[in-house]
Structure 1
Amino acid sequence: MPARARAVDDCAPDLLLPRLVHLDDLPELRRHLDGLARIRRRPGPDASARSTAALVALLLEIHAQAARAAGDLPALMDRRVHDVVEWLARHPTRRLDLHAAAASAELSADQFSRLFRRETGQSFRAYQVTVRIDRARELLAESGMTVSQVAKALGYADHRLFVRQFKARTGTAPGIWKRSA
Protein backbone atom coordinates (compact mmCIF):
# COMPACT_ATOMS: atom_id res chain seq x y z
CA MET A 1 0.00 0.00 0.00
CA PRO A 2 1.42 3.43 -0.92
CA ALA A 3 2.54 5.62 1.99
CA ARG A 4 -0.04 8.28 1.15
CA ALA A 5 -2.91 5.75 1.30
CA ARG A 6 -1.67 4.49 4.68
CA ALA A 7 -1.54 8.06 5.97
CA VAL A 8 -5.21 8.54 5.12
CA ASP A 9 -6.13 5.21 6.73
CA ASP A 10 -4.14 6.10 9.86
CA CYS A 11 -5.80 9.47 10.45
CA ALA A 12 -8.62 9.88 12.92
CA PRO A 13 -11.41 7.65 11.58
CA ASP A 14 -14.08 9.90 13.07
CA LEU A 15 -12.98 12.67 10.68
CA LEU A 16 -13.60 10.57 7.57
CA LEU A 17 -16.97 10.49 5.86
CA PRO A 18 -18.55 7.11 5.21
CA ARG A 19 -18.34 5.93 1.59
CA LEU A 20 -22.04 6.68 1.05
CA VAL A 21 -23.49 9.87 2.52
CA HIS A 22 -27.14 10.95 2.56
CA LEU A 23 -27.37 14.69 1.95
CA ASP A 24 -30.80 16.06 2.79
CA ASP A 25 -30.41 19.81 2.42
CA LEU A 26 -29.65 20.13 -1.29
CA PRO A 27 -30.58 23.84 -1.51
CA GLU A 28 -27.94 24.61 1.12
CA LEU A 29 -25.32 22.63 -0.79
CA ARG A 30 -26.31 24.35 -4.00
CA ARG A 31 -25.92 27.73 -2.29
CA HIS A 32 -22.35 26.80 -1.35
CA LEU A 33 -21.58 25.51 -4.86
CA ASP A 34 -23.10 28.61 -6.46
CA GLY A 35 -20.94 30.79 -4.23
CA LEU A 36 -17.85 28.87 -5.29
CA ALA A 37 -18.84 29.23 -8.96
CA ARG A 38 -19.35 32.98 -8.54
CA ILE A 39 -15.85 33.33 -7.13
CA ARG A 40 -14.40 31.36 -10.04
CA ARG A 41 -16.27 33.53 -12.59
CA ARG A 42 -15.09 36.78 -11.02
CA PRO A 43 -11.49 36.26 -9.99
CA GLY A 44 -9.78 38.97 -8.05
CA PRO A 45 -6.73 39.45 -5.86
CA ASP A 46 -8.36 37.54 -3.00
CA ALA A 47 -10.02 34.84 -5.16
CA SER A 48 -7.77 32.08 -3.85
CA ALA A 49 -8.58 32.85 -0.22
CA ARG A 50 -12.29 33.24 -0.97
CA SER A 51 -12.30 29.96 -2.95
CA THR A 52 -10.62 28.15 -0.07
CA ALA A 53 -13.10 29.58 2.45
CA ALA A 54 -16.06 28.65 0.23
CA LEU A 55 -14.72 25.13 -0.25
CA VAL A 56 -14.18 24.68 3.50
CA ALA A 57 -17.74 25.90 4.14
CA LEU A 58 -19.05 23.38 1.58
CA LEU A 59 -17.09 20.53 3.16
CA LEU A 60 -18.28 21.51 6.64
CA GLU A 61 -21.88 21.49 5.40
CA ILE A 62 -21.39 18.02 3.87
CA HIS A 63 -19.91 16.74 7.15
CA ALA A 64 -22.76 18.29 9.16
CA GLN A 65 -25.41 16.73 6.91
CA ALA A 66 -23.66 13.34 7.08
CA ALA A 67 -23.51 13.58 10.88
CA ARG A 68 -27.21 14.50 11.09
CA ALA A 69 -28.10 11.58 8.80
CA ALA A 70 -26.09 9.23 11.03
CA GLY A 71 -27.84 10.61 14.12
CA ASP A 72 -24.65 12.17 15.48
CA LEU A 73 -26.04 15.72 15.31
CA PRO A 74 -29.57 16.82 16.13
CA ALA A 75 -31.66 18.03 13.22
CA LEU A 76 -31.38 21.76 12.86
CA MET A 77 -35.05 22.23 12.06
CA ASP A 78 -38.29 20.36 12.57
CA ARG A 79 -38.70 18.07 9.55
CA ARG A 80 -42.19 19.41 8.76
CA VAL A 81 -40.90 22.97 8.55
CA HIS A 82 -37.73 21.86 6.77
CA ASP A 83 -39.76 20.21 4.01
CA VAL A 84 -41.73 23.42 3.41
CA VAL A 85 -38.56 25.55 3.56
CA GLU A 86 -36.92 23.25 1.01
CA TRP A 87 -39.96 23.49 -1.29
CA LEU A 88 -39.91 27.29 -1.05
CA ALA A 89 -36.19 27.33 -1.91
CA ARG A 90 -36.80 25.17 -5.00
CA HIS A 91 -39.86 27.15 -6.12
CA PRO A 92 -39.30 30.86 -5.34
CA THR A 93 -41.62 31.90 -8.17
CA ARG A 94 -44.62 30.00 -6.85
CA ARG A 95 -46.97 31.07 -4.08
CA LEU A 96 -47.68 28.58 -1.34
CA ASP A 97 -50.75 29.21 0.76
CA LEU A 98 -50.34 28.92 4.54
CA HIS A 99 -53.19 26.39 4.70
CA ALA A 100 -51.57 24.21 2.01
CA ALA A 101 -48.21 24.36 3.82
CA ALA A 102 -49.91 23.47 7.11
CA ALA A 103 -51.77 20.59 5.47
CA SER A 104 -48.50 19.21 4.06
CA ALA A 105 -47.14 19.26 7.63
CA GLU A 106 -50.36 17.68 8.92
CA LEU A 107 -50.97 20.62 11.26
CA SER A 108 -53.61 23.30 11.56
CA ALA A 109 -52.69 26.67 10.08
CA ASP A 110 -52.25 28.14 13.58
CA GLN A 111 -50.06 25.27 14.79
CA PHE A 112 -47.94 25.39 11.65
CA SER A 113 -47.62 29.16 11.83
CA ARG A 114 -46.33 29.00 15.43
CA LEU A 115 -43.96 26.13 14.63
CA PHE A 116 -42.68 27.87 11.49
CA ARG A 117 -41.94 31.09 13.38
CA ARG A 118 -40.21 29.20 16.20
CA GLU A 119 -38.02 27.26 13.74
CA THR A 120 -37.16 30.06 11.28
CA GLY A 121 -37.56 33.23 13.32
CA GLN A 122 -39.95 34.65 10.72
CA SER A 123 -43.61 34.37 9.88
CA PHE A 124 -44.46 32.07 6.98
CA ARG A 125 -45.30 35.01 4.70
CA ALA A 126 -42.16 36.99 5.64
CA TYR A 127 -40.03 33.91 4.96
CA GLN A 128 -41.60 33.49 1.51
CA VAL A 129 -40.79 37.10 0.67
CA THR A 130 -37.23 36.67 1.95
CA VAL A 131 -36.71 33.65 -0.32
CA ARG A 132 -38.02 35.55 -3.32
CA ILE A 133 -35.90 38.63 -2.60
CA ASP A 134 -32.79 36.46 -2.14
CA ARG A 135 -33.46 34.93 -5.54
CA ALA A 136 -34.07 38.41 -6.99
CA ARG A 137 -30.66 39.54 -5.73
CA GLU A 138 -29.03 36.60 -7.50
CA LEU A 139 -30.90 37.28 -10.74
CA LEU A 140 -30.12 40.99 -10.66
CA ALA A 141 -26.43 40.36 -10.01
CA GLU A 142 -25.87 37.47 -12.40
CA SER A 143 -28.34 37.75 -15.26
CA GLY A 144 -28.99 40.37 -17.87
CA MET A 145 -32.59 40.67 -16.73
CA THR A 146 -34.11 44.07 -16.00
CA VAL A 147 -35.77 44.83 -12.67
CA SER A 148 -39.19 44.42 -14.31
CA GLN A 149 -38.20 41.08 -15.82
CA VAL A 150 -36.94 39.81 -12.47
CA ALA A 151 -40.15 40.92 -10.75
CA LYS A 152 -42.23 39.13 -13.36
CA ALA A 153 -40.03 36.01 -13.27
CA LEU A 154 -40.55 35.79 -9.51
CA GLY A 155 -44.31 35.97 -9.86
CA TYR A 156 -44.88 39.59 -8.91
CA ALA A 157 -47.91 40.96 -10.75
CA ASP A 158 -47.19 44.40 -9.30
CA HIS A 159 -43.70 45.75 -10.05
CA ARG A 160 -44.09 48.39 -7.33
CA LEU A 161 -44.73 45.74 -4.68
CA PHE A 162 -41.52 43.98 -5.73
CA VAL A 163 -39.53 47.23 -5.47
CA ARG A 164 -41.01 47.98 -2.01
CA GLN A 165 -40.30 44.50 -0.68
CA PHE A 166 -36.80 44.45 -2.18
CA LYS A 167 -35.94 47.82 -0.64
CA ALA A 168 -37.43 46.84 2.73
CA ARG A 169 -35.27 43.68 2.87
CA THR A 170 -32.02 45.04 1.40
CA GLY A 171 -32.14 48.76 2.14
CA THR A 172 -31.48 49.44 -1.55
CA ALA A 173 -33.70 49.78 -4.60
CA PRO A 174 -33.33 46.84 -7.01
CA GLY A 175 -32.01 49.07 -9.82
CA ILE A 176 -29.22 50.36 -7.59
CA TRP A 177 -28.50 46.80 -6.43
CA LYS A 178 -28.18 45.65 -10.05
CA ARG A 179 -25.78 48.46 -10.96
CA SER A 180 -23.57 47.83 -7.93
CA ALA A 181 -23.41 44.04 -8.38
Structure 2
Amino acid sequence: KPIGSADPAALRALGLAHIPEDRHHMGLVLKFEEYENSMLGYHRDVKYGRAGMLDLDAMRKDAIEKIEKYDIRPPNARLKTANFSGGNQQKIVVAREIERDPKALLIGQPTRGVDIGAIEFIHRRIIEMRDAGKAILLVSVELDEIRALSDRILVMFAGHVVGEKTADAGEQTLGLMMAGIAA
Protein backbone atom coordinates (compact mmCIF):
# COMPACT_ATOMS: atom_id res chain seq x y z
CA LYS A 1 0.00 0.00 0.00
CA PRO A 2 1.53 3.34 -0.99
CA ILE A 3 1.95 5.60 2.02
CA GLY A 4 3.20 8.74 0.31
CA SER A 5 3.98 11.51 2.75
CA ALA A 6 1.95 10.19 5.67
CA ASP A 7 2.65 11.78 9.04
CA PRO A 8 4.41 9.74 11.75
CA ALA A 9 1.19 8.97 13.66
CA ALA A 10 -0.40 7.57 10.49
CA LEU A 11 2.68 5.44 9.82
CA ARG A 12 2.60 4.07 13.37
CA ALA A 13 -1.09 3.24 12.92
CA LEU A 14 -0.11 1.19 9.85
CA GLY A 15 2.32 -0.81 12.00
CA LEU A 16 5.60 0.88 11.05
CA ALA A 17 8.19 1.61 13.74
CA HIS A 18 11.45 3.51 13.33
CA ILE A 19 14.75 3.40 15.18
CA PRO A 20 16.60 6.45 13.83
CA GLU A 21 20.32 6.51 13.20
CA ASP A 22 20.79 9.61 15.37
CA ARG A 23 19.24 8.84 18.73
CA HIS A 24 20.15 12.23 20.20
CA HIS A 25 18.47 14.38 17.57
CA MET A 26 15.74 12.12 16.21
CA GLY A 27 15.05 9.45 18.82
CA LEU A 28 15.20 11.09 22.23
CA VAL A 29 14.70 14.35 24.06
CA LEU A 30 17.71 14.29 26.37
CA LYS A 31 16.15 16.76 28.85
CA PHE A 32 13.16 14.44 29.34
CA GLU A 33 13.07 11.73 31.96
CA GLU A 34 13.39 8.12 30.81
CA TYR A 35 9.68 7.39 31.17
CA GLU A 36 8.82 10.37 28.93
CA ASN A 37 11.18 9.16 26.20
CA SER A 38 9.85 5.64 26.65
CA MET A 39 6.48 6.73 25.23
CA LEU A 40 7.63 9.52 22.91
CA GLY A 41 5.46 9.57 19.80
CA TYR A 42 2.91 7.25 21.38
CA HIS A 43 1.48 9.76 23.85
CA ARG A 44 -1.95 9.69 22.18
CA ASP A 45 -2.29 5.97 22.88
CA VAL A 46 -5.20 5.25 25.24
CA LYS A 47 -2.72 3.25 27.31
CA TYR A 48 -1.22 6.56 28.48
CA GLY A 49 -4.36 8.63 29.03
CA ARG A 50 -7.66 9.90 27.71
CA ALA A 51 -9.17 13.16 26.50
CA GLY A 52 -5.77 14.82 26.26
CA MET A 53 -4.85 14.03 29.87
CA LEU A 54 -1.73 11.93 30.34
CA ASP A 55 -1.71 9.18 32.97
CA LEU A 56 1.78 9.61 34.42
CA ASP A 57 1.46 6.52 36.62
CA ALA A 58 0.65 4.35 33.58
CA MET A 59 3.55 5.91 31.68
CA ARG A 60 5.99 5.22 34.51
CA LYS A 61 4.71 1.66 35.02
CA ASP A 62 5.17 0.93 31.31
CA ALA A 63 8.67 2.46 31.38
CA ILE A 64 9.67 0.33 34.38
CA GLU A 65 8.55 -2.82 32.54
CA LYS A 66 10.73 -1.85 29.55
CA ILE A 67 13.66 -1.01 31.85
CA GLU A 68 13.48 -4.51 33.33
CA LYS A 69 12.95 -6.34 30.03
CA TYR A 70 15.71 -4.43 28.19
CA ASP A 71 18.13 -4.24 31.13
CA ILE A 72 18.32 -0.44 30.94
CA ARG A 73 20.77 0.93 33.50
CA PRO A 74 20.47 2.57 35.86
CA PRO A 75 16.95 1.23 36.39
CA ASN A 76 15.39 4.63 37.10
CA ALA A 77 12.44 5.85 35.02
CA ARG A 78 12.70 9.33 36.62
CA LEU A 79 16.33 9.92 35.55
CA LYS A 80 16.99 12.45 32.79
CA THR A 81 17.82 10.58 29.60
CA ALA A 82 21.03 12.61 29.15
CA ASN A 83 22.39 10.79 32.23
CA PHE A 84 22.22 7.34 30.63
CA SER A 85 25.14 5.87 28.67
CA GLY A 86 24.88 5.79 24.87
CA GLY A 87 24.07 2.08 24.90
CA ASN A 88 21.30 2.52 27.43
CA GLN A 89 19.91 5.51 25.54
CA GLN A 90 19.76 3.31 22.45
CA LYS A 91 18.01 0.58 24.45
CA ILE A 92 15.35 3.14 25.45
CA VAL A 93 14.65 3.84 21.76
CA VAL A 94 14.78 0.15 20.79
CA ALA A 95 12.43 -0.81 23.64
CA ARG A 96 9.96 1.94 22.77
CA GLU A 97 9.72 0.89 19.13
CA ILE A 98 9.91 -2.91 19.43
CA GLU A 99 7.47 -3.15 22.33
CA ARG A 100 4.76 -1.64 20.11
CA ASP A 101 4.88 -4.93 18.17
CA PRO A 102 5.15 -3.31 14.74
CA LYS A 103 4.58 -5.14 11.46
CA ALA A 104 7.64 -3.47 9.97
CA LEU A 105 10.70 -1.88 11.52
CA LEU A 106 13.00 0.64 9.84
CA ILE A 107 16.37 0.70 11.63
CA GLY A 108 19.22 3.11 10.95
CA GLN A 109 22.67 2.41 12.42
CA PRO A 110 21.24 0.47 15.40
CA THR A 111 24.52 0.00 17.25
CA ARG A 112 26.44 3.17 16.42
CA GLY A 113 28.37 4.36 19.44
CA VAL A 114 27.23 1.66 21.85
CA ASP A 115 29.23 -0.86 23.87
CA ILE A 116 29.61 -4.53 22.96
CA GLY A 117 27.05 -5.69 25.54
CA ALA A 118 24.40 -3.36 24.14
CA ILE A 119 25.30 -4.39 20.57
CA GLU A 120 24.68 -8.06 21.36
CA PHE A 121 21.43 -7.25 23.17
CA ILE A 122 20.11 -5.08 20.31
CA HIS A 123 21.10 -7.68 17.72
CA ARG A 124 19.20 -10.38 19.66
CA ARG A 125 16.06 -8.21 19.72
CA ILE A 126 16.28 -7.58 15.96
CA ILE A 127 16.73 -11.30 15.28
CA GLU A 128 13.73 -12.10 17.51
CA MET A 129 11.62 -9.71 15.45
CA ARG A 130 12.86 -11.24 12.21
CA ASP A 131 12.12 -14.74 13.50
CA ALA A 132 8.61 -13.58 14.45
CA GLY A 133 8.00 -12.74 10.79
CA LYS A 134 8.33 -8.96 11.05
CA ALA A 135 9.64 -6.99 8.08
CA ILE A 136 12.93 -5.28 8.90
CA LEU A 137 14.77 -2.73 6.81
CA LEU A 138 18.26 -2.29 8.26
CA VAL A 139 20.48 0.55 7.13
CA SER A 140 24.04 0.32 8.40
CA VAL A 141 27.60 1.07 7.38
CA GLU A 142 28.78 -1.85 9.52
CA LEU A 143 29.28 -4.69 7.04
CA ASP A 144 29.59 -7.33 9.77
CA GLU A 145 26.33 -6.14 11.30
CA ILE A 146 24.53 -6.27 7.96
CA ARG A 147 25.80 -9.79 7.26
CA ALA A 148 24.88 -11.01 10.76
CA LEU A 149 21.33 -9.64 10.72
CA SER A 150 20.22 -9.82 7.10
CA ASP A 151 18.63 -12.44 4.90
CA ARG A 152 19.05 -10.28 1.80
CA ILE A 153 21.47 -7.44 1.21
CA LEU A 154 20.78 -4.66 -1.26
CA VAL A 155 23.85 -2.56 -1.95
CA MET A 156 23.42 1.04 -3.04
CA PHE A 157 25.91 3.37 -4.65
CA ALA A 158 25.22 6.98 -5.66
CA GLY A 159 21.53 6.56 -4.87
CA HIS A 160 21.02 3.44 -6.98
CA VAL A 161 20.82 -0.25 -6.15
CA VAL A 162 23.84 -1.93 -7.73
CA GLY A 163 23.01 -5.44 -6.65
CA GLU A 164 21.39 -7.90 -4.31
CA LYS A 165 23.16 -10.69 -2.45
CA THR A 166 22.47 -13.11 0.37
CA ALA A 167 24.01 -12.71 3.82
CA ASP A 168 26.73 -15.24 2.99
CA ALA A 169 28.17 -13.02 0.25
CA GLY A 170 31.87 -12.36 0.73
CA GLU A 171 33.25 -9.09 2.02
CA GLN A 172 35.16 -8.54 -1.22
CA THR A 173 32.04 -8.93 -3.32
CA LEU A 174 30.05 -6.56 -1.14
CA GLY A 175 32.95 -4.12 -0.96
CA LEU A 176 33.17 -3.92 -4.76
CA MET A 177 29.44 -3.33 -4.95
CA MET A 178 29.72 -0.58 -2.33
CA ALA A 179 32.29 1.07 -4.61
CA GLY A 180 29.80 0.98 -7.47
CA ILE A 181 31.23 -2.07 -9.20
CA ALA A 182 28.52 -4.66 -9.83
CA ALA A 183 29.69 -8.10 -8.79
- TM-score normalised over the length of structure 2: 0.27
More helix by share: 1
- TM-score normalised over the length of structure 1: 0.28
More strand by share: 2
The structure having more radius of gyration, on CA atoms, is 1
